[in-house]
Structure formats: structure tokens, C-alpha cells
Amino acid sequence: MNNKISIMAFSSISPLGNTSAEVWENYLDPKHCFTKQFLDGQETPVAALSTASKEIVEEIKESDIKYKFLDNSVLFALAASRIAVENAGWTKDDVFGINIGSSRGATDLFEKHYKEYLENGKAQTLASPTTTLGNISSWIAHDLQNNGPEISHSITCSTALHAVLNGIAWLNSGMADKFLTGGSEAPLTDFTIAQMRALKIYSRINLDEESWPNLAFDFDKTLNTMVLGEGAAVCCLETGEKENAMAYISGFGYATEILEHNISISAEADCFQKSMKMALKNENLDGIDVIVMHAPGTIKGDLTELRAIEKVFGSNLPLLTTNKWKIGHTFGASGLLSLELALLMIQHDTFIGVPFAKMDFKKRPIKKVLINAVGFGGNAVSILIEKA
């Protein structure tokens, strides 16, 4: 990577809240954000938006008649994008690109429209435009009155970090000077939960028990414990090292697994080894302070990523952490929510670990953090950020 990319602003709405101060305070609290919802015919642990975040989304929905018919995945992204662009000081006179992805897109709205179609044999007039994946970035461009390129995509759980990759490519090519990138997901629906249960990866741990429903980072667990969460996160990127940048992106990597099964990953996560090595090719490995792991809470997903990290770093591991024990797996938004944790740890020079972690680490200043994400299909991305 020839030039560093500046992260000028970051915003999210999630189970942790909607301001950086609120999010940080919640990270300092060792309690998880899971509650119960009745999904797929039974009570299910999920991580829903915080009350404050829900209020912001509702305000947007009621602000314009057109927004009443949008899926939560779009509304979440609108809320986060408005705040990020304002914090970056971008205006409607600035031409900037937009790439906001989602693993599943308009999940709730699609299921609603399809259910109605099965019941009466007719589709609603707006069923297609409002459930098309590309409408996320299109609506953000409309809302922000932007005239730059707008892109939406789905690369399952690594979608948000692939959006960052795409933004970097546009900036480094000279085709854009500014790019808004991120991911949004609203997966707390009956059919989505049913699919995760069919894969036998959803947590069966009861919230009433004195334990965490999602045991991401417990490498000795004998059951899969993935729990879904919802939210959106975006960051404003600009070319070069800007004086008021939050942090710099100084490395990136990507790789695709050779699959044996639709959701398989190799025993030592070859895709992660390749993506991390690519992101770190110009780095002294001793200088990497923290890795925010993808670690979804499944037996194989957590352990194979750890093995990949051990292969790359040997016995001298950086500090390791994840946020999915706290906010669940937010699918397409998860990579950017992990990047949020990385930014906050750099900003506060404080490591946020996993409360039930059994690994011992030596305290160290936090200046460089590597963020990992991988999706079904083995599409891995690693992004290196460093203190500005």
C-alpha cells in the first residue's frame, strides 16, 4: 500500500448505542447486550439495537413519507451515514463515493412481502425496489444529496471490510478523493434464525443461566454458540495522511478459501493466513499490538482463526479480542463494528478483552490494530489501522 488512507470519521448504531462515548462506556462494562426475542417459534437470544439507536431510526422513518416503506437495513445505514458525514465535515457540495454493503439486505421487508405473496398470490407494488440490495447505497446518496458513485454488495460476513477495500481502491486509483464505506444488517427475523439453526451454529445457551450465550473466544467450547445482532457502521475515508484523521489505514489483505463445503474453512484458516500476511507485508510483526478477531462463536470458526494467527505470528502473539461475545454476529456490518472497537482502543490506549478469556497477555501501548473478517464462502479480509 503506497499511501495511507485517513479515517476522518466513524459512526455506528448498534446494541452498544449510537455515540462513541456511549459505545466506549458499554465496552468497559463486562455485561453482554443480549435479550430475548420470540423468533422461529421460540425464545431466542439476540442483540437488538439500543433504545437510543431505535429512537434515531424511528425519527428517520417518520421524517419522510418515502422512508416509511424502507427496510431497517436501509434505515440503520441512513442513521449511521448522516452522523459520520457530519462529523467528517463533508457537505452536499463534496463529491464522494458510497459503498455500503449488507449480507442479507432488506431481510425483514423481503420476508414480509414474500409471505404476503404466498398468501394471496400478489406482490406489493414496491416489493422489488425496496428489497433490492442496491437500495442501501442509493437511498444514502439520495438522503445526503451526493453525486458520487454508489455501490452496494454482499460478500456475506466480510461485506463491510470489503466495502473498505473497495473504497481504498477508488481512492488509490485517483478516481475519488473521499469515500463513505461500511455495512448494515437487520437479520433478527424468523427465516434468518431458522437458517442459522438449520446449520446447527446458533446458540442453545439459555439467557437465564449465569453464562454468556455467545462464547466467542472460548476455544474449549463443545457447542456452537453464535448469536445474531443488528446494527450498522460506516467510516469516512480520504486519501493521504490528514492532520485531523482519527487513524490511518496502513495495510490491507484479502484471500478466498478453497472450499470443501459451502460454509467450510480449513483447519488453519488458509484464507486468514493469506489476508493477514498481505496486510502485514511491510510490517514488523512485533509492532502489531492487537488483533480484533472475527470469532463468531462457533467451534471451528473461532479455533481455525486462532490457528491461523499462531501460524502467522508464532509464539509472540499480539493481544487478541473480539466483540461478538457482547453484541453477537451482525453479519455484513460486523467487520466495521470490529473496526470501531479497534479505533476506540487506540483512542483510549486501553485494551478491551473478553471477560471469560483464558489467555494471558502482557499490557502494551496500543498503536497498531489488525481487524479480521471472513464470510460464508471463505472470503477473508484483514485491515491494519494505526494511531494518527
Domains plus CATH for the chain? 5-239 (3.40.47.10), 251-387 (3.40.47.10)
Cα separation of 307 and 148, whole Å? 41
Give the Å distances, CA to CA, from 341 to 23, 25, 31, 335, 349.
Answer: 9, 12, 16, 10, 12
Placement of cell 483447519 in the chain? 267
What is the reported pLDDT for 261?
Answer: 52
pLDDT digit string (tens) for 329-382? 999 999 999 999 999 999 999 999 999 998 888 889 999 999 999 998 789 999
Please check whether residue 76 is in contact with residue 337, taking contact to mean a CB–CB distance below 8 angstroms: no
What is the reported pLDDT for 376?
Answer: 81
Taking the model in full, what pTM does it have? 0.96
Amino acid (1-letter code) at residue 237: L
User: For residue 236, what are the contacts with CB-CB under 8 A and spacing of at least 6?
Assistant: 7, 8, 9, 10, 84, 85, 87, 88, 90, 96, 178, 179, 180
What is the reported pLDDT for 81?
Answer: 98
Length of the chain: 388
pLDDT digit string (tens) for 72-91? 999 999 999 999 999 999 98
Cα separation of 183 and 13, whole Å? 11
pLDDT digit string (tens) for 261-308? 544 566 678 999 999 999 999 899 999 999 999 999 999 999 999 999
